């Protein structure tokens, strides 16, 4: 079966680093089709999910976008900006699963913690493959891996139940200057809320959540944009740090 035209366009935008101009003809028609486009795009660029970013859609339903292997950077790695590209830098809690979370089961936050082998500080770069992002509907943004550009898993701890998920001091440091320092507080209060909700409602069009995969949980800091070369360091007190260089 041929790929959806939007999957073809998004994969071309990834490979050429040239953004796609979205039109209504691109779709997708709904979120289930958006998840199929995510999977088709991954196949077209020859990559695979090494994890997921979770959240809730505007109506409050759990959603996720894949973290593709080609978008992952090692701690201290480099992300090369495309000409004219701007990204949003997010400091996040991430987890690494120690066991599978099978589709068709209901999971609580306690279940997610029990299935977690490590909790980490992470950097996510939020970006887009669309030239006209402000005019793109939510389902098309979901199809573009929920606006995901890059993921950096940083330092972490394996005693996951002992790690506070609220209130530690967070620092975002850019080129040696601290641009944010405040208590780490997630917009959902509990960072794992969306993880548990999505794990309980995994769509048939996506891979199941597997042991070894990372799940990142959303920003702990205010919006911070960058469109130039820089060194980014994220710190969460008692957890560790992550670093990424933009070039």
pLDDT digits (tens, 9 = 90+) for 137-189: 999 999 999 999 999 999 999 999 999 999 999 999 999 999 999 999 999 99
In the predicted model, is pLDDT for residue 2 greater than 90?
no
| Contacts for 219 with CB less than 8 Å, ≥ 6 apart | 90, 91, 92, 124, 187
Q: Which CATH architecture describes the domain 5-246?
A: Alpha-Beta Complex (3.90)
The position carrying tokens 């979770």 is 54
Give me the residue spans of the domains in the chain: 5-246
CB 151 within 8 A of CB 235: no
The rounded mean pLDDT for the chain is: 97
Q: Alpha-carbon distance 66 to 150, whole Å?
A: 11
3-class SS string, the chain: CCCCHHHHHHHHHHHHCCCECCCHHHCCCCHHHHHHHHHHHHHHHCCCEEEEEEEECCCCCEEEEEEEHHHECCCCEEECCCCCCCEEEEEEEEEEECCCECCCCCCCHHHHHHCEEEEEEEEEEECCCECCHHHCCHHHHHHCCCCEEEEEEEEEECCHHHCCCCCCEEEEEECCEEEEEEECCECCECCCHHHHHHHHCCCCCCCCECCCCEEEEEECCCCCEECCCEEEEEEECCCEEEEEEEC
Q: Assign residue 95 a region (left: φ > 0; alpha: ψ between -120 and 50; beta: otherwise).
A: beta
Q: What percent of the chain has pLDDT over 70?
A: 100
Q: What percent of the chain has pLDDT over 90?
A: 97
In the predicted model, is pLDDT for residue 1 greater than 90?
no
Q: Alpha-carbon distance 164 to 91, whole Å?
A: 15
CB 227 within 8 A of CB 115: no
Write down the pTM of the prediction.
Answer: 0.96
> pLDDT tens across 180-203, in order?
999 999 999 999 999 999 999 998
> pLDDT tens across 198-231, in order?
999 998 877 899 999 999 999 999 999 999 999 9
pLDDT value at residue 186: 96
pLDDT value at residue 223: 96
């Amino acid at each position: 079966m041929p790929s959806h035209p939007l999957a073809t366009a998004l994969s071309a935008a990834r490979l050429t680093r040239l953004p796609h101009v979205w039109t209504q003809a691109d779709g997708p028609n709904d979120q289930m089709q958006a998840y199929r486009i995510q999977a088709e795009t991954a196949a077209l660029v020859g990559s695979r999910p090494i994890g997921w970013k979770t959240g809730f859609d505007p109506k409050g339903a759990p959603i996720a976008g894949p973290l593709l292997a080609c978008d992952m950077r090692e701690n201290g790695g480099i992300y090369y900006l495309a000409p004219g590209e701007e990204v949003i830098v997010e400091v996040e809690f991430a987890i690494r699963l120690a066991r599978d979370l099978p589709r068709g089961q209901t999971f609580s936050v306690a279940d997610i913690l029990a299935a977690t082998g490590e909790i980490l500080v992470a950097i996510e770069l939020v970006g887009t493959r669309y030239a006209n992002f402000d005019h793109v509907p939510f389902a098309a943004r979901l199809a573009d891996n929920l606006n995901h550009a890059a993921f950096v898993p940083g330092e972490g701890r394996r005693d996951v139940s002992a790690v506070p998920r609220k209130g530690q001091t967070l620092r975002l440091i850019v080129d040696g200057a601290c641009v944010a320092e405040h208590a780490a507080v997630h917009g959902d209060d509990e960072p794992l809320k969306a993880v548990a909700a999505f794990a309980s409602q995994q769509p048939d069009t996506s891979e199941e959540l597997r042991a070894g995969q990372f799940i990142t949980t959303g920003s702990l800091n205010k919006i911070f944009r960058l469109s130039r070369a820089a060194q980014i360091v994220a710190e969460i007190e008692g957890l560790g740090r992550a670093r990424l260089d933009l070039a």
